[in-house]
Chain A
Amino acid sequence: METTFLPLLVVLPMLAAFLIPLFAKLWQRSADLIANAVGAALLGLSVFGAVCLFTDSHAIVYRLGGWAPTLGITLVFDHLTALVAMAVNVVGFAALLFSVRYLDRYTGRWKFFALFMLVLAGLNGVTITGDLFNLFVFVEIAAVSSYALVAFGTDFDELEAGFKYMVIGEIGGIAVLLGIALLYAKASALNMAVVSQVMAELGHTPLFWFIVALFLVGFAVKMAMVPFHAWLPDAHPSAPAPVSALLSGVFIKVLGVYAMCRVMFNVFGLSRANAPVFFDLLLAFGVLSIVAGGLLAYAQKDYKRLLAYSSISQIGYILIGLGIGNYWAIVGALFHVLAHALSKGLLFLTSGSVEHATGTRDLDKLSGLEKKMPLTAWSYLLGSLSLAGVPPFAGFFSKFFVVIGAVQAKLYWLAILAALFSTVTLGYLVKVANSAFFSRKDRDPSAAHESPATMVLAMLALLVLTLVLGIGFKPALDQLVGPAAQVLLNGLGYARSVLGG
């Protein structure tokens, strides 16, 4: 009975995306109202699902139309889903709240909210689906709407970034589709649990590795790990700020990290023990992403572009956590999914707030904003401390757990590199704080002002959650992140928990 809430996670935003254009014709502002109501409802549903899992540790499984797994599509809500779904809907709701006033300078606001709802439908769909083709469909729903949102400003930069993003993103999507076709040819099933059982019997043939490679390329493009990252520093800054917050905060993690983890760990049953090469590859990509993203971020003069490169670097931390592959490293990676979603969402919202107030994102033109917009400035500062991994904040614990994992795996150089690059992270984030907010010279006498209440509220909400996650890391670890890591380490045990028995 209590499983019936699962399809609502997709149905509600889909319905909203359909209703918004209808009602917006009658009353412009209804778009804001519907979108925010649905955002709040989705947040409530994902929290409800997570709370259900506290008491009953089994995965919540919903069979669409009541069909048994080989024939029908199953929706699965386990601990890993709970973690990712909460991240999606928290950042999504904050971004929606922020959009209400931020969008005043754009035309066609109902189009924005309708597309935003479709992105949320796709992201939630990816997290709860238990079927491979369904996964592809939701990935494409989220991706296609996000291409449109990146190009939403329809100016030179936005169009160029949107097209570039679309070309590279679609190559990833097609790689995944080809992988699914080959997998279906081999396993004659698409349900993840059933496929995982069939693949376990087939063993690791060359074809198996070819399929793994196709999925890896597809998801690597979506998560922008370094050799596949070219689109991200163009696309994320070009989108309107709330969309950047959603894209950088959760989009790359759901379509990239979450989908990859689910397929590699739970469907293909890869683990450090049986596929060391694959995990070494993740480590190599992770190190490349941390180093290249971190160093390139230093060189940026554009507020949002700097944050975008920082996202590439932080994805690297998640990747090395997964690549090390022991319990603490995976806990660190998943904790970072949550911590980075909150703090990077917050940082991108502050960039929107600054752009809203001053009309520019150029760090050379911004200065001394702390006096005029103190709440934005301090949100930025605390958010960036969390992202860089300064002790009482959430980002510290995720990096700390990754380092513990690296030490346990006797990869000391990796532990040192992770710690070193967290100071690099602090370096480039402080650069923004210095030049935009806390510089003494007042080169910008324009009438900058604190943003409207709803925008500040959205930023403060994310800030408070970042602080809560940092101070309350122990309950978060026990109830949310630890069990989620167990889902990944459990590997093929996923099939048993979905199919029952």
Chain B
Amino acid sequence: MVALLACLLLVLIGLYAVVTKRNIIRIVIGFSLVEYAVNLFFALVGFKRDALPPIITDVAQTRNFVDPLPQALVLTAIVIGLATTALMLALAMRIYEKYRTFDITEIRRLRG
């Protein structure tokens, strides 16, 4: 439970960075933080104390093993996170080439 709340705290820290920071790179870092926190949360969902690894050799013996599914899902989520972070950084680079700044308050040509 404590671990789960800590994940939530991490999500909030990341969101704080996304919402308040003016530097694009810091916004991307905030996003990575949120992503990792959610992934950590998902991995912890499948965790059990004193449980066996989910490698079933003898079905009759294995009762208490860790749920392997969240780990598989988190792997997928990490790959998606990689794609979004890469695209965000690519956009950040192109924005810097055009605007010569990372400050989002100066990148405002679209209005209302």
Q: Taking beta carbons and an 8 Å cutoff, which residues of A are in contact with B?
A: 133, 136-137, 140, 144, 147-148, 151, 154-157, 159-164, 166-167, 170-171, 173-174, 177-178, 181, 184-185, 188, 190, 233-234, 238, 296, 299
CA distance A185 to B109 in the complex (A): 44
Instruction: Classify the secondary structure of A's interface with B.
Output: helix
Asked if residues B108 and A178 are in contact (CB atoms below 8 Å), the reply is: no
Q: Does B95 contact A (CB under 8 A)?
A: yes
Most-contacted residue by chain B among A159, A166, A234 (CB, 10 A):
A159
Known pairs A155-B98, A163-B24. 6 more at Cβ < 8 A?
A: A159-B91, A160-B107, A181-B42, A184-B45, A188-B67, A299-B112
Asked if residues B91 and A178 are in contact (CB atoms below 8 Å), the reply is: no
Q: Does B52 contact A (CB under 8 A)?
A: no
The proximity string for B residues 11-30 relative to A, scoring 1 for CB distances below 8 Å and 0 otherwise, is: 10001001000001001000
What are 20 inter-chain pairs, A to B, with CB distance below 8 A?
Answer: A133-B73, A140-B83, A144-B80, A148-B87, A151-B91, A157-B109, A157-B110, A159-B95, A163-B24, A164-B110, A166-B84, A167-B18, A170-B31, A171-B15, A174-B35, A181-B41, A184-B42, A184-B45, A190-B69, A299-B112
Q: Does B62 contact A (CB under 8 A)?
A: no
Asked if residues A177 and B108 are in contact (CB atoms below 8 Å), the reply is: no
B104 CB to closest chain A CB (Å) equals 8
CA distance A151 to B110 in the complex (A): 14
Instruction: Classify the secondary structure of B's interface with A.
Output: helix
CA distance A59 to B94 in the complex (A): 46
Residues on the B chain within 8 Å of A148, using CB: 87
Asked if residues A167 and B38 are in contact (CB atoms below 8 Å), the reply is: no
Asked if residues B77 and A163 are in contact (CB atoms below 8 Å), the reply is: no
Asked if residues A159 and B87 are in contact (CB atoms below 8 Å), the reply is: no
Residues on the B chain within 8 Å of A157, using CB: 109-110
Residues on the A chain within 8 Å of B41, using CB: 178, 181
Q: List residues 76-112 of chain B with CB under 8 A from any CB of chain A.
A: 76-77, 80, 83-84, 87-88, 91-92, 94-95, 98-99, 107-110, 112
Asked if residues B99 and A156 are in contact (CB atoms below 8 Å), the reply is: yes
A160-B11 in contact given A140-B84, A144-B84, A184-B45 (Cβ < 8 Å): no
A53 CB to closest chain B CB (Å) equals 31
A132 CB to closest chain B CB (Å) equals 10
Residues on the A chain within 8 Å of B94, using CB: 151, 154, 159
Chain B residue with minimal CB distance to A140? B80
CA distance A257 to B19 in the complex (A): 26
Asked if residues B76 and A133 are in contact (CB atoms below 8 Å), the reply is: yes
Residues on the B chain within 8 Å of A233, using CB: 112
Asked if residues A177 and B38 are in contact (CB atoms below 8 Å), the reply is: yes
Which 5 pairs from chain A and chain B are nearest by CB? A181-B42, A185-B45, A234-B110, A140-B80, A159-B95
Chain A residue with minimal CB distance to B4? A185
Residues on the A chain within 8 Å of B108, using CB: 160
CA distance A75 to B83 in the complex (A): 25
A166-B80 in contact given A159-B95, A178-B11, A178-B38 (Cβ < 8 Å): no
Residues on the A chain within 8 Å of B107, using CB: 160, 163
A407 CB to closest chain B CB (Å) equals 36
Residues on the B chain within 8 Å of A174, using CB: 34-35, 38
Chain A residue with minimal CB distance to B76? A137
CA distance A107 to B2 in the complex (A): 52
Chain B residue with minimal CB distance to A309? B112
A171-B18 in contact given A156-B99, A159-B91, A163-B95 (Cβ < 8 Å): yes
Residues on the B chain within 8 Å of A238, using CB: 110
B69 CB to closest chain A CB (Å) equals 8
A159-B24 in contact given A140-B80, A166-B88, A181-B38 (Cβ < 8 Å): no
Residues on the A chain within 8 Å of B35, using CB: 174
B99 CB to closest chain A CB (Å) equals 7
A226 CB to closest chain B CB (Å) equals 15
Partner among B42, B84, B95 whose Cβ is within 8 Å of the Cβ of A160: B95
CA distance A371 to B95 in the complex (A): 40
Asked if residues B91 and A162 are in contact (CB atoms below 8 Å), the reply is: yes
Chain A residue with minimal CB distance to B73? A133
Chain B residue with minimal CB distance to A235? B110
A181-B91 in contact given A144-B84, A160-B110, A234-B110 (Cβ < 8 Å): no
Most-contacted residue by chain B among A136, A156, A174, A299 (CB, 10 A):
A174
Residues on the B chain within 8 Å of A159, using CB: 91, 94-95, 98
Residues on the A chain within 8 Å of B67, using CB: 188
A144-B24 in contact given A159-B95, A174-B35 (Cβ < 8 Å): no
CA distance A351 to B34 in the complex (A): 38
CA distance A233 to B112 in the complex (A): 8
B31 CB to closest chain A CB (Å) equals 6
